[in-house]
């Protein structure tokens, strides 16, 4: 009897290997963006730095990603309450908002080029904005694919409250990229 209780207590500390890999990827991404922002600050201090306005679409995209995080969390809550139709709707909205964010980033880059802010090795301030927002966009595309898979699974009825692992992982990653963008936007805004 004591061994059984000990095994149950030990099982509470075991993390799912898939969740562990997700958290490793998140930590690696945090380290990468910390490196980008650190390099940005160091390079800015060396001079030859142009100050320019960020595209207004970056602010709109920030609102879009916040809304998408809300719809993602709503889908998780609906899943826990076994409301499959709400799960489908909220995952669909999250997917649409994620795609809108991606399109918005491309349009924001168009705003940058219209303001003569180009990716150029001769101007590091411009290049940093493109690199930071571009690598983040790459992460968002991965998140959109994850949401798409969960959305398709919900349409097939394969997302169940009894097995919320993948939807929970998807939500964790989606919230991460949302928080990351908010941090990056504030950072770029303050340290232009």
Q: How far apart are CA 79 and CA 140, in angstroms?
A: 23
The closest alpha carbon to 48, from 122, 130, 132, 118, belongs to: 122
What CATH number does the domain located at 2-190 have? 1.20.120.80
How many angstroms separate the CA atoms of 132 and 191, rounded? Answer: 13
The model's pLDDT over 95-136, given as tens digits with 9 standing for 90+, comes to 999 999 999 999 999 999 999 888 876 778 889 999 999 999
pLDDT tens digits, 12-31 = 667 889 999 999 999 999 99
Q: Where are the domains of the chain?
A: 2-190
| Closest listed residue to residue 170, CA positions, set 150, 153, 190, 141 | 150
> What is the structure's pLDDT at 50?
85
How do residues 27-65 score in pLDDT, each as one tens digit? 999 999 999 999 999 999 887 788 889 999 999 999 999
């Amino acid at each position: 009897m004591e061994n059984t209780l000990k095994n149950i207590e030990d099982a509470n500390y075991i993390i799912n290997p898939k969740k562990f890999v997700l958290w490793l990827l998140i930590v690696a991404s945090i380290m990468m963006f910390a490196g980008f922002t650190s390099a940005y600050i160091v390079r800015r201090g060396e001079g030859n730095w142009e100050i320019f306005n960020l595209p207004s679409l970056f602010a709109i995209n920030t609102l879009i990603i916040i809304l998408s995080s809300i719809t993602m969390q709503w889908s998780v809550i609906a899943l826990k309450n076994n409301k499959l139709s709400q799960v489908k709707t909220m995952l669909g909205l999250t997917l649409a908002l994620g795609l809108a964010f991606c399109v918005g980033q491309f349009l924001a880059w168009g705003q940058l080029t219209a303001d003569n802010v180009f990716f150029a090795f001769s101007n590091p301030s411009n290049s940093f904005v493109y690199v930071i927002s571009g690598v983040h966009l790459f992460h968002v595309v991965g998140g959109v694919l994850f949401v798409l898979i969960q959305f398709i699974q919900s349409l097939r009825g394969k997302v169940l409250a009894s097995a919320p692992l993948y939807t929970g992982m998807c939500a964790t990653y989606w919230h991460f990229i949302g928080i990351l963008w908010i941090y990056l936007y504030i950072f770029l805004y303050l340290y232009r």
